[in-house]
Structure 1
Amino acid sequence: MNVDLNSDSGESFGSWTMGDDAAMAQIVSSLNVACGFHAGDPDVARVTCRAAADAGVAVGAHVAYPDLQGFGRRVMDMAHDELVNATIYQIGALQAIARASGTRVTYVKPHGALYNRIARDAAQAAAVAEGIASVSTDLPILVLPDSEIQKAAQDAGLRAVPEVFADRGYNPDGSLVSRREKGAVLHDAREIADRVVRMVEEGLVTAVDGSDVRVSAESVCVHGDTPGAVDIARTIRRGLDDAGIEVQSFV
C-alpha cells in the first residue's frame, strides 16, 4: 500500500516568512507551491522549487483566487474566462520557475476558498478544469472526493486525484469544517497521524459530530502554515512508515 503526502509551500512573501519549506521537502512526496496570487513571490517560488528538486519531490501549482491580503481564503465571484485565464497564468508562471530550478510542474492543487468553492460550484469548477486542460491534460488535479471539481476535471480529460486532509476537521457530509468554526484545525500530532493511517487503510475519518465518513485517500495534505506543521508532518510520516504504508508521489 502507498499514498502521496503533500504540503502547501512557497507561501512566504518578501521578508515575511511562513512555514519551513526546506524541512517539509525532506518529509513529504509532493510540494504545492504558491503561484503568487494568494501568497509567495518569484524569489520564494524559486527557492522552494530548488528545495523540491534537491529532495526529489514532485512540484504542483498551488493556484488560488487573486487575494494576497486575505491569503486566498475569501471567495471571489470571478467570471468564467477570468478564472480560466487566472488558472493558466499561475500554472505558466510556476512552470517557468520550476524549469529554471531543475524540476517541473507535474500537477495542480487549488488553494483555500477556491478549493472549497469548486468542490460545490459546478460553474467555477468547469472554469478551473478548462484552465488546466488548456495548459496540458497531462496535469492531474488534487480534489475533494465526490466534488464538482472531480466531475469537471474528468469531463475535461484530466486525472482527478482524491485527497484527504490530515489536520482539518470534517463535516458529516465529507466537506471540511469552516476555519471560522470550532474543530476546523487539529493540532495533536499523534492524534493526526493515527487519523491519517486510518484514512489510508480503512477509508474512514471521524467527523466533528462523531460519525464516520467515507473518504478516498490517494494523497494526504498537511498544511504548511499550521502551527507545528513540520513536527506534524514528521509524526504522520513515522506513522505511515510504521504501518507499512509507502509514501510516494502519485505522479
Structure 2
Amino acid sequence: MAGSVIDLNSDLGEGFGNWPLGDDEALLDVVTSANVACGFHAGDPTVLRRVTERAAERGVTIGAQVGYRDLPGFGRRFIDMEPHELVNDIIYQIGALDGLAKVAGTAVRYVKPHGALYNAIVTHEEQAAAVVEAVSRYDTSLPLMGLPGSEVLRQAEAAGLTTVHESFADRAYTPEGRLVSRRQPGAIVHEPDAVVERSVRMATKGTVEAIDGSSVAVSPRSLCVHGDTRGAVEIARGVREGLLAAGVEITSFVSA
C-alpha cells in the first residue's frame, strides 16, 4: 500500500513504586502514542505523572490504558464484573490519568483497554458495551483503540465513536485474526528481524502470517510495540527504522 501511514504505540507507566517495568524514557523517543496505565493493572500516581510529563515534552499522544482492577495479576486475568461496575471503573481510570495529563499541559486523547479486558471485549458483548458506555459518557471525542473485527469496535462505531484499528508487532495471530493466548507456546515473537518484517508487512501489505502459516488480513492505523519484553527498546527502534525505510510515514492518528 503506497503512501502508508501508521502510528506506533506502546504500553507505558507500568512501573509501581520502587519496581520499574520497561524503559519509558527510551520508548517515548520511538513511539508516537503512549498507552499509559491508569493505576488499576499497573502504575501509581508518581509513575504516571512522570510519564505524562515526559510524553508532553516529546509531543507524544497520551492514551488511557484502562483495565481490570488487578494489580497482582497485571490485568491479565479475566474478571466477570457487573457491567455498571466496569463502566464506573473505566470512567475513574480515564479521569485519573486525564487529571495528571492536564497538570503536564496536555490531555488524554484516546482510550485503549489493557490485557484480559482487551481480549475479552473482542467477543464479550456486555463488557464491550460497558467500555463503549464509559468512553461515551466521559468524552465522545475520544477514539477507542482495539482489534479489527472485535465486538467492542463494532459497538463503538454504532455509538458514533471514532475507532482505531490496531495490530501487534510481536504477537502471534490465529487464522481468525485474534491474538494467540499468552498461555500458548509461540504467542510472542522474540526474533527482532521477524518482528520488523511482520511490522513492515502489516503496514505496507495489510496482512500478517498467522501461527498456522496462513495469511490474515489486517488494517492497522496503529501498531503496538510492547515495552515489557526482552530487548523491547531495540526491537521498537528496529521497527521504526524498518517502517521508515519502507516508505511508511509514522505519525499519531490524533490531529495536533
Q: Which of 186, 191, 214 lines up with 1:188 in the alignment?
A: 191
Q: Which residue of 2 aligns with 1:102?
A: 105
Query: Identity, % of aligned pairs?
Result: 56
Q: How does 1:73-222 map to 2 (within 5 A)?
A: 73-222=76-225
Structure 1 counterpart of 2:249, one-letter code: E
- The runs of 5 or more residues in structure 1 that have no matched partner are none
Instruction: Kindly tell me the number of residue pairs found equivalent between the two proteins.
Output: 251
Q: Structure 1, residues 161-208: CA drift from partner, whole Å, max 9, x if none? A: 101000100011100000011110111112101111100111100011
Give, in angstroms, the shift of residue 227 of structure 1: 1.3
Q: Structure 1, residues 38-90: CA drift from partner, whole Å, max 9, x if none? A: 00000000010011011111000000000000000000011011011011000
Q: Structure 1, residues 132-167: CA drift from partner, whole Å, max 9, x if none? A: 110011000111001100111112221111010001
Q: Which of 42, 46, 61 lines up with 1:43 in the alignment?
A: 46
Q: Which residue of 2 aligns with 1:61?
A: 64
Q: Which residue of 1 aligns with 2:25?
A: 22
CA distance in 2, matches of 1:42, 1:155: 34
Q: Give the TM-score taking structure 2 as reference length.
A: 0.97
Over 2 Å off, 4+ runs: none
RMSD, aligned α-carbons: 0.6
Q: Which of 221, 224, 228 lines up with 2:227 in the alignment?
A: 224
- The runs of 5 or more residues in structure 2 that have no matched partner are none
CA distance in 1, matches of 2:112, 2:72: 20
Structure 2 counterpart of 1:166, one-letter code: A
Q: Aligned to 2:165, what secondary structure does the other structure show?
A: strand
Q: Structure 1, residues 183-242: CA drift from partner, whole Å, max 9, x if none? A: 101111121011111001111000110000111111000111111111110000000110
CA distance in 2, matches of 1:129, 1:91: 13
Q: Aligned to 1:14, what secondary structure does the other structure show?
A: coil
Structure 2 counterpart of 1:212, one-letter code: S
Is 1:70 the counterpart of 2:68? The answer is no
CA distance in 2, matches of 1:59, 1:143: 16
CA distance in 2, matches of 1:142, 1:86: 18
Structure 2 counterpart of 1:125, one-letter code: A
CA distance in 1, matches of 2:237, 2:246: 14
Is 1:8 the counterpart of 2:11? The answer is yes
CA distance in 2, matches of 1:144, 1:124: 15
CA distance in 2, matches of 1:157, 1:85: 20
CA distance in 2, matches of 1:97, 1:40: 12
CA distance in 2, matches of 1:192, 1:228: 12
